[in-house]
């Protein structure tokens, strides 16, 4: 029996395998296709993903193909700026820029290439999940092996795993097999997505009110123009992404025809040579699974939730899901933690995901406004709020974990912990490792061993320019305990934090509370 079977080797499944394999768990990934999806869907990710790539040991592979950019700009019906979430000149508390653009097929290749270096991970291509049976100690997963190269018949096989992670995408056959329903967050709009290789800058229409520090070529620009809402997004190297809302009565197939696509993109490229790589229509919607865990099976990524991509967070949610599962599964296998800790997966992830999808749906509602009068009123209302939102970045949209495996009621619990850059140019996690970390203000010996290993650091000894000490100070804390997925477990007395954590690891919440 293996530890974890992962169904689906998209970005979420591949990342899960890397994180789990690296921590010594045995993993088999079943992927029905023989090649990964060749066209980009996601183009943006944020600093938290870069930190997870550090944890998964894939950062050196993915970094050269990531392009740091400067945030988001929303432009109103009158072509004046209504909302600016720029990052130029802002601090980078997590050690990375807030926004990166990338090319998904290239990125997925890097994740798959890393599997061979990350432990006991077997990737079975052409292996299509068909059904599962849950038992007390394991799940039996049945799948068909499609060996198209050898022209063999489909053969039904099975494997037994302690847990299953279903990362099999929005249509998730596993979710359907488990009969899990989706909550519909009541947003559905049709958009045409176009990717192009370009040999020069995009020509924007005149836009008023562009902040002095903003470079339109480095921003994700949302044109909230009721005549045709559209997004223009920079990509890595010469890749550019446009997303155009389809207007009432427009037909998907007609809009995907090359002359229509050429006309839409051509308006932005004027005399700049460019080549359309693909055009496809999507229904942008907000959906969240009612249950993320059924017995020993966990839904993750698009199988568990789908979001309109207005803040580029769909895949990011999925990577957070598997980072959350991976450290808990590793604590059970490696340190003898109680399996019940996996019950904190949905309570932690579901509200987090709903919070961010809620922000994307709210933005989607105003972006997709087609009535010129209502669009003008919207612009006025958003501009009125602009003062109170001055300085916001997309990072502010990501909430803290509010419940689950955290020390409740302690300052900073559930927030993402900072990752300062060190005096030698490395980042904090490169020095401390990525497991449980305890940062203390004063060098006092800690009592007790602890169930899962904890690395302890005295803030004043860190070559971080005083960043961790300042964090502790700002939270009035003598110590902070940080989880392996970089969220703060809690703050307070160091020994007490370890005791409370160990009680949660042993599923003794009533004592921890």
Ligand X SMILES: Cc1cc2nc3c(=O)[nH]c(=O)nc-3n(C[C@H](O)[C@H](O)[C@H](O)COP(=O)(O)OP(=O)(O)OC[C@H]3O[C@@H](n4cnc5c(N)ncnc54)[C@H](O)[C@@H]3O)c2cc1C
* CB-nearer residue toward ligand X: 75 or 123: 123
* CB-nearer residue toward ligand X: 173 or 412: 173
Which position among 22, 41, 274, 437 is part of the footprint of ligand X (CB under 6 A)?
41
Judged by CB under 6 A, the stretch of 26-34, 201-209, 347-355, 498-506 that binds ligand X is 26-34
- Count the Cβ atoms, other than its own, within 10 Å of residue 373: 10
Distance of closest approach, residue 77 Cβ to ligand X, in angstroms: 24
Sequence-distant (6+) residues with CB within 8 A of 194 are 241, 242, 243, 244, 261, 264, 265, 276, 278, 279
Which position among 5, 6, 43, 294 is part of the footprint of ligand X (CB under 6 A)?
43
Contact predicate 8/167, CB 8 Å: yes
Sequence-distant (6+) residues with CB within 8 A of 279 are 192, 193, 194, 195, 256, 258, 261
Residues touching ligand X: how many (CB under 6 A)? 33
**Does 9 sit near ligand X (CB under 6 A)?**
yes
* CB-nearer residue toward ligand X: 15 or 413: 15
181 token code pair: 């329903």
As to burial, measured by CB atoms within 10 angstroms (0-12 exposed, 13-18 middle, 19+ buried), residue 215 is middle
- Tell me how far apart the alpha carbons of residues 13 and 321 are, in angstroms, rounded to a whole number: 10
Q: How far is CA 432 from CA 424, 468, 490, in A?
A: 14, 12, 18
Which position among 19, 45, 111, 194 is part of the footprint of ligand X (CB under 6 A)?
45
Buried b / exposed e over 381-408, threshold 16 CB at 10 Å, is: ebeeeeeeeeebbbbebbbebeebbbbe
Contact predicate 101/219, CB 8 Å: no
Which position among 4, 5, 6, 10 is part of the footprint of ligand X (CB under 6 A)?
10
Give the per-residue contact string, 110-129, with ligand X (x = CB under 6 A; - = no).
------------------xx
As to burial, measured by CB atoms within 10 angstroms (0-12 exposed, 13-18 middle, 19+ buried), residue 336 is exposed
**Does 42 sit near ligand X (CB under 6 A)?**
yes
* CB-nearer residue toward ligand X: 231 or 452: 231
* CB-nearer residue toward ligand X: 188 or 199: 188
Give the per-residue contact string, 270-289, with ligand X (x = CB under 6 A; - = no).
------------x-------
Instruction: From 94, 32, 18, 23, select the one nearest 62 (Cα to Cα).
Output: 18
Distance of closest approach, residue 136 Cβ to ligand X, in angstroms: 25
Instruction: From 273, 274, 281, select the one nearest 256 (Cα to Cα).
Output: 281
Distance of closest approach, residue 213 Cβ to ligand X, in angstroms: 23
Contact predicate 356/396, CB 8 Å: no
24 token code pair: 């010594």
Distance of closest approach, residue 28 Cβ to ligand X, in angstroms: 11
139-198 residues near ligand X, rule: CB under 6 A = 167-169, 173, 193
* CB-nearer residue toward ligand X: 45 or 62: 45
**Does 32 sit near ligand X (CB under 6 A)?**
yes
Gyration radius (Cα) of the chain, Å: 24
Distance of closest approach, residue 58 Cβ to ligand X, in angstroms: 15
* CB-nearer residue toward ligand X: 310 or 489: 310
Which position among 2, 4, 5, 7 is part of the footprint of ligand X (CB under 6 A)?
7
User: What's the residue count for the chain?
Assistant: 513
* CB-nearer residue toward ligand X: 11 or 76: 11
Q: Are strands 155-166 and 2-7 parallel, antiparallel or unpaired?
A: parallel
Judged by CB under 6 A, the stretch of 29-37, 394-402, 482-490, 499-507 that binds ligand X is 29-37
**Does 99 sit near ligand X (CB under 6 A)?**
no
* CB-nearer residue toward ligand X: 302 or 369: 302
DSSP, collapsed to helix, strand or coil, labels residue 115 as helix
**Does 364 sit near ligand X (CB under 6 A)?**
no
Distance of closest approach, residue 259 Cβ to ligand X, in angstroms: 22
Which position among 22, 44, 72, 74 is part of the footprint of ligand X (CB under 6 A)?
44
292-351 residues near ligand X, rule: CB under 6 A = 301-302, 309, 312-316, 318
Residues that bind ligand X (CB under 6 A): 7-13, 30-33, 41-45, 128-129, 167-169, 173, 193, 282, 301-302, 309, 312-316, 318
């Amino acid at each position: 029996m293996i530890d974890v079977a992962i169904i689906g080797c998209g970005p979420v499944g591949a990342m899960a395998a890397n994180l789990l394999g690296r921590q010594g768990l045995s993993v088999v990934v079943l992927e029905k296709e023989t090649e990964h999806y060749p066209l980009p869907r996601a183009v943006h990710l944020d600093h938290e993903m870069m930190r997870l790539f550090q944890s998964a040991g894939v950062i050196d592979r993915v970094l050269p193909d990531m392009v740091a950019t400067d945030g988001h700009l929303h432009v109103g019906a009158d072509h004046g700026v209504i909302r600016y979430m720029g990052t130029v000149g802002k601090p980078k508390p997590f050690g990375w820029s807030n926004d990166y653009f990338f090319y998904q097929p290239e990125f997925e290749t890097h994740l798959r290439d890393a599997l061979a270096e990350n432990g006991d991970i077997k990737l079975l291509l052409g292996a299509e999940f068909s059904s599962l049976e849950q038992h007390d100690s394991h799940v039996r997963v049945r799948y068909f092996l499609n060996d198209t190269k050898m022209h063999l018949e489909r053969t039904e096989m099975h494997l037994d795993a302690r847990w299953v992670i279903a990362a099999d995408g929005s249509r998730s056959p596993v979710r359907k097999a488990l009969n899990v329903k989706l909550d519909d967050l009541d947003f559905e709009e049709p958009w045409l997505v176009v990717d192009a290789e370009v040999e020069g800058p995009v020509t924007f229409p005149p836009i008023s009110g562009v902040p002095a520090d903003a470079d339109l070529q480095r921003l994700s620009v949302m044109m909230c123009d009721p005549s045709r809402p559209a997004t223009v997004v920079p990509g890595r190297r010469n890749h550019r992404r446009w997303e155009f809302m389809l207007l009432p009565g427009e037909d998907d197939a007609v809009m995907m025809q090359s002359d229509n696509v050429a006309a839409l993109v051509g308006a932005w490229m004027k005399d700049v040579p460019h080549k359309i790589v693909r055009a496809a229509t999507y229904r942008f919607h907000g959906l969240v699974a009612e249950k993320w865990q059924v017995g020993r099976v966990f839904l993750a990524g698009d199988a568990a939730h789908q979001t309109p991509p207005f803040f580029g967070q769909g895949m990011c949610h999925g990577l957070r899901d598997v980072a959350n599962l991976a450290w808990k599964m590793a604590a059970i296998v490696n340190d003898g933690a109680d399996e019940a800790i996996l019950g904190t997966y949905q309570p932690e992830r579901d509200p987090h995901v709903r919070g961010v999808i809620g922000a994307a749906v709210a933005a989607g509602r105003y972006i997709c406004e087609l009535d010129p009068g209502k669009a003008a009123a919207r612009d006025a209302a958003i501009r009125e709020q602009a003062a109170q939102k001055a300085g916001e970045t997309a990072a502010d949209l990501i909430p803290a974990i509010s419940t689950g495996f955290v020390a409740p009621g302690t300052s900073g619990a559930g927030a993402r912990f900072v990752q300062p850059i060190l005096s030698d140019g490395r980042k904090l996690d490169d020095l401390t490792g990525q497991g449980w970390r305890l940062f203390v203000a004063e060098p006092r010996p800690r009592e007790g061993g602890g169930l899962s290993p904890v690395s302890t650091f005295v803030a004043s000894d860190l070559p971080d320019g005083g960043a961790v000490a300042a964090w502790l100070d700002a939270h009035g804390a003598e110590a902070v305990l940080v989880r392996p997925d970089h969220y703060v477990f809690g703050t307070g007395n160091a020994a007490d934090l370890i005791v409370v954590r160990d009680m949660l690891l042993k599923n003794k919440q009533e004592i921890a509370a």
